[in-house]
């Protein structure tokens, strides 16, 4: 059955090859073979400063992964506990909500100029923007999961003598976990968008920088190569999240 997944991929590659050959636009739409050649060239060309040994493609990929993992982990480590507190304590929620609602509508990408002004060029502004982009989906979904915890479960636990800490750890957190994981998925996706946008403007390394650099030099094959690496990372990340979700939520009943 899994071999069936290869059919649409093969059809897509075939259509790509046909269109590229028909319109003969190597500077705008290179063939898949030329993209493969570009990947090989990038793999063996010198990498960014400090990672020359890794090659240009792997070196920039490692830099982008460092930035996304750092920003995303900070967002998760702050967003989940903070979301649990805000979702559990109504008084805290009423105090924090107005502040959150003022900041949340501002797109993280609109803060790129300020991020560069505050942190300069390099990894710091990118990590800051990833943190902002990832934080609010994680934070909001955590609050939603806590608030949607069944009142029956809480009352039964209280009847059995559970203290507040036990309620949070044994009842509220497991009940909120599906919503938290959904927030992590969304937050990671937004974090990637923020990373690439930040690398397009405020850094001299990373996959986003590599993509825009080869766009300006009219080497579309290398630009597409960078995009394919991002897509591959997205596929691997999604599979890891699915595995994590199945493990953590093994108790959950599914439709299929």
Q: Give pLDDT, residue 201.
A: 73
Q: Give pLDDT, residue 48.
A: 85
Q: Give pLDDT, residue 26.
A: 64
Instruction: Give mean pLDDT, residues 209-216.
Output: 89
CA dihedral for 85, 89, 90, 95, sign (positive or negative): negative
When pLDDT is cut at 50, 70 and 90, the band that residue 183 belongs to is very high
Sequence spans of domains, the chain: 66-220
Q: Give pLDDT, residue 254.
A: 57
**pTM of the full structure:** 0.86
Asked whether the predicted pLDDT for residue 137 surpasses 90, the reply is yes
Q: Give pLDDT, residue 59.
A: 93
Q: What is the pLDDT of residues 145-169, one digit of tens each?
A: 988 888 887 777 777 777 777 788 7
First to last CA, the chain: 16
- What's the angle, vertex CA 188, arms to CA 113 and CA 92, rounded to 5? 85
Q: What is the CATH number of domain 66-220?
A: 1.10.3720.10
Burial (CB < 10 A; 0-12, 13-18, 19+), residue 187, is buried
Specify whether the CB–CB gap between 132 and 195 falls below 8 A: no
Instruction: Give mean pLDDT, residues 222-249.
Output: 86
When pLDDT is cut at 50, 70 and 90, the band that residue 17 belongs to is confident
Q: What is the mean pLDDT of the chain?
A: 85
């Amino acid at each position: 059955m899994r071999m069936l997944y290869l059919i649409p991929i093969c059809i897509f590659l075939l259509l790509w090859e046909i269109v590229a050959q028909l319109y003969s636009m190597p500077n705008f739409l290179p063939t898949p073979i030329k993209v493969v050649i570009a990947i090989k060239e990038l793999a063996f060309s010198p990498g960014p400063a400090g990672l020359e040994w890794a090659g240009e493609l792997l070196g920039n990929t490692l830099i982008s992964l460092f930035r996304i993992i750092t920003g995303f982990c900070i967002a998760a480590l702050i967003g989940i506990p903070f979301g649990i507190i805000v979702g559990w304590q109504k008084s805290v929620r009423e105090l924090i909500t107005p502040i959150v609602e003022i900041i949340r509508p501002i797109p993280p990408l609109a803060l790129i100029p300020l991020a560069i002004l505050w942190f300069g060029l390099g990894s710091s502004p990118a990590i800051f923007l990833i943190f902002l982009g990832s934080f609010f989906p994680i934070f909001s979904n955590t609050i939603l999961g806590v608030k949607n915890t069944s009142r029956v479960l809480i009352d039964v636990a209280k009847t059995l003598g559970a203290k507040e800490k036990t309620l949070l750890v044994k009842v509220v957190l497991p009940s909120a976990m599906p919503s938290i994981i959904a927030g992590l998925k969304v937050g990671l996706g937004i974090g990637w968008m923020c990373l690439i946008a930040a690398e397009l403007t405020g850094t001299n390394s990373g996959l986003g920088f590599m993509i825009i650099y080869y766009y300006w030099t009219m080497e579309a094959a290398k630009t597409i190569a960078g995009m394919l690496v991002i897509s591959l990372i997205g596929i691997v990340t999604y599979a890891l999240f699915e595995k994590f979700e199945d493990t953590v939520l093994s108790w959950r009943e599914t439709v299929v």
